[in-house]
Amino acid sequence: MPAKKKSAIAPAKGKLGILMPGLGAVSTTTIIGVEAIRRGLGQPIGSLTQMGTIRLGKRTDGRAPLIKDFVPLAGLDDLVFGGWDIYKDNVYEAAINAGVLERGLVESVKDSIENIRPMKAVFDRQFVKRLDGPNVKKGKTKLDLAEQLIDDIARFKKENGCSRLVMIWCASTEVFLKLAAVHETLEGFEAAMKKNHPAIAPSMIYAYAALKSGVPFANGAPNLTVDIPALVSLARKKGVPVCGKDFKTGQTLMKTMIAPGIKSRLLGLAGWYSTNILGNRDGAVLDDPGSFKTKEESKLSVLTQILQPDLYPTLYGDFFHKVSINYYPPRGDNKEGWDNIDIFGWLGYPMQIKIDFLCRDSILAAPLVLDLALFLDLAQRTKMKGIQEWLSFYFKSPMTAPGLYAEHDLFIQLMKLKNTLRHLRGEELITHLGNEYYD
Ligand SMILES: NC(=O)c1ccc[n+]([C@@H]2O[C@H](COP(=O)([O-])OP(=O)(O)OC[C@H]3O[C@@H](n4cnc5c(N)ncnc54)[C@H](O)[C@@H]3O)[C@@H](O)[C@H]2O)c1
């Protein structure tokens, strides 16, 4: 494929503010992680923007720069963090509560994190039944609340001297919502906010406020949030990139690594039984059937897309897929995920695969938050707007243009991400077609 022209990318000058609704386990692990890395106390393991390389040109060219040297990304020293939460704990206190990182590490960066205090949240218990807190905004209508968030965003930008902002939803999973008529157009959505319509969730109010402020938005939870026509059209109108939904970590990450392998070898699947124990606040929220339903939808969709039962009815036409999450406080953030996979091979002979993943949810999610913030900022400076499918790599339920199916295969997602970066820099796309076969 011939090399194209480089895209014009504005330089990453000045500070980048990362605003997060929800200062819980994931956000505090991200913030403290970045501070620890800045101070040389740890390495950014798991982050593609910090540790990943990208092959350019032919295999014999030997060109494989770091991604952060290939595209102009904000540097870690230029990041400033802020956020909202229904609890008043500052980032130091919230991190101690979350118990993800060792106390010694949290203490060692205390001076940089104790002054990050949550702004008052937009919250409604109807959407997260297992939580309640005092740090919540009051407003007559949902539009009033959005305007208060818009003021928060502008104040944060000014007070911290940021040249750019991004917003990443790291708050709790809301109850399951179906796409409704009020989500269809921007006019209808704004009218519904004025009338306090029950189908407008708090996460949508944050997303609306971000987009109105020209701030890119990523959704780390499975809620509908920005994945509605009204807000996607607002994003396009304001020239802002958006992406979501639901960080791909833990069990689903494993699933989208293993399933493409089973499919590549044309092994059949009879059933995939997945269960988890999890004891953090996220686990408590997901113990509510409404919030779990949102998560379940997100987790179940991946296998059908990867295995394509329509094309392979003999192999995948009739598999049983079950996912459950059980709240089990003793484990805290250290989740254990079990998978029992019943497969079949030559002549239909059955086999089993067992996975026991003792993972750490927020340790897996933090590098994703960092990468998404840096890539969304890059997209904004490149004038990319609307849904960013090339960032599907990070999500369990990637947002797509209407009518397109989401790509779930982790390896295709990574290829798409890297080819997008190559395209931006006018480099040849890599197709893995070797010329040697034709010599
Ligand atoms: N950790 C992972 O691997 C992972 C993977 C995929 C998705 N997620 C999602 O990321 C989100 C964060 O996970 P976590 O482990 O940090 O959870 P957490 O419970 O530790 O933190 C979420 C925080 O959001 C706050 N909150 C709830 N509603 C809010 C609102 N309307 N405005 C502001 N704050 C609000 C809560 O008070 C809480 O402090 C969850 O939705 C979770 O499902 C996490």
Same domain, 351 and 256: yes
Q: 250 CB less than 6 Å from ligand 1?
A: yes
| Domain region containing 310 | 251-358
Q: If pLDDT is split at 50, 70 and 90, which confidence band does 44 have?
A: very high
Band (348; pLDDT cuts 50, 70, 90): very high
Q: Which of 339, 358, 377 is the last residue of a domain?
A: 358
Q: Is 22 in the pocket of ligand 1 (CB under 6 A)?
A: yes
Ligand 1 centroid distance, CA of 408 (Å): 23
Q: Are residues 41 and 54 in the same domain?
A: yes
d(CA 294, CA 289): 9
Cβ(201) – ligand 1 distance below 6 Å: no
Would 3 be classed as within a structural domain? no
Residue 202 Cβ inside 6 Å of ligand 1? The answer reads yes
Residue where one domain finishes, among candidates 358, 378, 406: 358
Position 114 scores a pLDDT of 97
Counted domains in the chain: 2
Res 334: pLDDT = 87
Please tell me the distance between residue 244's alpha carbon and the centre of ligand 1 in angstroms. Answer: 14
Is any ligand 1 atom within 6 A of the Cβ of residue 123? yes
**Domain-located, residue 6:** no
**DSSP secondary structure string, 169-189?**
E-SPPPPP----GGGT-HHHH
Three-state DSSP at 325 gives strand
Which of 20-24, 190-194, 391-395, 429-433 shows the lowest per-residue confidence on average (mean pLDDT)?
A: 429-433
- Both 227 and 284 in a single domain? no
361 Cβ closer than 6 Å to some ligand 1 atom: yes
- The CA-CA-CA angle for residues 241, 243, 246, to 5°, reads 160
Q: What is the number of residues in the chain? A: 439
Instruction: Clarify whether residues 255 and 232 are in a common domain.
Output: no
Residue 244, class by beta-carbon neighbours within 10 Å (0-12 exposed, 13-18 middle, 19+ buried)? buried
Does residue 385 share a domain with residue 240?
Answer: yes
**What spacing in Å lies between the alpha carbon of 263 and ligand 1's midpoint?**
33
The pLDDT of residue 1: 47
Assess if residue 167 is contained within a domain: yes
Q: Are residues 21 and 135 in the same domain?
A: yes
Rounded Cα–Cα distance for residues 376 and 327 (Å): 33
Regarding whether 327 and 190 lie in a shared domain, the answer is no
Pick the atom of ligand 1 nearest to 223's CA.
41
Q: Which of 352, 355, 257 lies closest to 306 in space, CA to CA?
A: 257
One domain, residues 290 and 396: no
87 in contact with ligand 1, CB cutoff 6 A: yes
For residue 429, is it within any domain? no
Compute, in angstroms, the gap from residue 376 CA to the centroid of ligand 1. 20
Average of pLDDT values for 154-179?
96
**Does residue 136 share a domain with residue 33?**
yes
Q: How far is the CA of 280 from the centre of ligand 1 (A)?
A: 10
Q: Considering only CA atoms, which residue is closest to atom 25 of ligand 1?
A: 22
Name the token pair of 45: 């393991």
285 Cα nearest atom in ligand 1: 19
**Helix residue spans in 81-171 (DSSP H):** 91-98, 103-108, 110-113, 142-159
Distance 22 CA to ligand 1 centre (A): 6
For atom 30 of ligand 1, which residue has the closest CA? 123
**Is the link from the previous residue into 137 a cis peptide, with omega within 30 of 0?**
no
CATH number at 317 reads 3.30.360.10
Tell me what pLDDT residue 282 has.
81
pLDDT in tens, 260-289: 999 999 999 999 999 999 888 888 888 888
Q: Please count the other Cβ atoms lying within 10 Å of the Cβ belonging to residue 438.
A: 6
The verdict on the CB of residue 281 being under 6 Å from ligand 1 is yes
Span 8-24, pLDDT tens digits = 999 999 999 999 999 99
Distance CA 25, CA 136 (A): 19
CA 249 to ligand 1 center in whole angstroms? 14
Residue 104 belongs to a domain: yes
Least confident of 129-133, 335-339, 346-350: 129-133
| Dist. CA 133 → ligand 1 center (Å) | 14
Query: What's the pLDDT score for residue 439?
Result: 43
Residue that has been written with the tokens 């509560």 in this structure: 97
CATH code assigned at 22? 3.40.50.720
Q: Which residues contact 103 (CB under 8 A, 6 or more apart)?
A: 96
Q: How far is the CA of 283 from the centre of ligand 1 (A)?
A: 10
Mean pLDDT for all residues in the chain: 94
CB-ligand 1 contact for 83 (6 Å cutoff): no
Residue 290 lies in a domain: yes
User: Which sign does the torsion angle of CA 254, 255, 256, 259 carry?
Assistant: positive
Does residue 338 share a domain with residue 367? no
Residue of 26, 88, 208 with the most ligand 1 atoms within 8 Å of its CB, for mutation: 26
pTM: 0.95
Same domain for 81 and 212, yes or no, is yes
Inter-helix orientation angle 25-38/91-98, to 10°: 110
Q: Is 249 in the pocket of ligand 1 (CB under 6 A)?
A: yes
Q: What separation in Å is there between the alpha carbon of 240 and the centre of ligand 1?
A: 24
- Give the Cα separation of 371 and 109 in Å (integer): 22
